[in-house]
Amino acid sequence: MLILIVTIDSKEKGRIKPALFFFGANNTVSVEDMKYGDYVFTDEKTQQTCAFEYKTCSDFINSVTENRIFNQAIEQANNFNYHFVCIEYTEELRKRLSEDLWYRQKLSFSKSQFYGAIARLNTYTTVITANNQKTCFELMEKQAKKCFDNKTIQKSLKKITKNSAMNYLTNCCYGIGTKTAENITGELKLFTLQDLLNLDKPMLLTVNGIGEKTADKILSNIKNDSEDLNWFFFFLLFLPILVSKTETFIYYTIQNYKQQTLRGLLWTTKKS
């Protein structure tokens, strides 16, 4: 049986009592002054950690306008095995709070900005949402357990290398095996995701063993993911903290809830 150790940040204040009641039913719970995260779940057996930054709708809006949430999410990503941002909100509440912000402070915070902030966070962490506190607690507990259960979802990532182009082809292009990916990246000298964006069909057809059908499949995948790939370049321009002196690997997961699939991207950057 999976036993969780739940640590609640002392700054949670009004949420501490209901959190102790909810999580204390089946887990070991304590309240501590934490530097990162509002709720940290630890697997008692493996000592792996799963952290959650908890935001109400109003707190999320304020933290976006002050740029706090992005730094908080980055710190979580750097300090825990698994990391999430949990937002408690409804669309009606979001709209009302945005209107109040304009009337009180003449600050505009549109629907586009709200969901844009979520999209930005999803490039380096994962955002989960619920419309009430109890459901947020339920989601956090379930998510932590899923992170720790070590079950394969559908398709495990193949061997990860320092070649981002190779990682994309083997893990994100269905039906492209390691050997084929090696031939493509080797013969065409592909190393980065930008190299993939510059690919065209004539180039692929020069690779030994690549026919029309395989070339079309690869280019179709890249085209469908091009918006996400381009976002990485934009993202790194504004977040230099993520670029280390040698290499920084950012694991980016795209969750397709309708098909319940998991796709992975590994980004490799080098500081010039």
Which token pair is 118?
Answer: 């979520």
Q: What is the pTM of this model?
A: 0.56
pLDDT of residue 99: 80
pLDDT of residue 152: 53
Q: What is the C-alpha separation between 173 and 222, in angstroms, rounded?
A: 8
Q: Are 68 and 35 in contact (CB under 8 A)?
A: no
Which token pair is 163?
Answer: 């070649």
CATH of the domain spanning 4-148, picked from 3.40.50.410, 3.40.30.10, 2.60.120.380, 3.40.50.10130: 3.40.50.10130
Q: What is the C-alpha separation between 15 and 38, in angstroms, rounded?
A: 10
List the chain pLDDT tens, one digit each, 272 residues.
778 999 999 999 899 999 999 999 889 999 999 999 999 999 988 899 999 999 999 999 999 988 899 999 999 999 999 999 999 999 898 888 888 766 676 777 788 889 999 999 998 899 999 999 999 999 999 999 999 886 655 555 556 677 888 888 887 787 888 889 999 999 999 988 788 888 999 999 999 989 999 999 999 888 877 765 555 544 444 444 443 333 333 333 333 332 333 333 433 333 33
pLDDT of residue 2: 79
Cα–Cα separations (whole angstroms), residue 220 to 215, 216, 224, 225: 8, 6, 6, 9
Where in the chain are the domains?
Answer: 4-148, 164-270
Helix, strand, coil abundance in the chain, percent, nearest 5: 50, 20, 30
Report helix, strand or coil for 14. Answer: helix
pLDDT of residue 95: 85
Fold of 164-270: DNA polymerase; domain 1 (1.10.150)
pLDDT of residue 157: 55
Among residues 174, 172, 229, which one has the least CA distance to residue 197?
A: 229
pLDDT of residue 3: 82
Which token pair is 224?
Answer: 């469908």
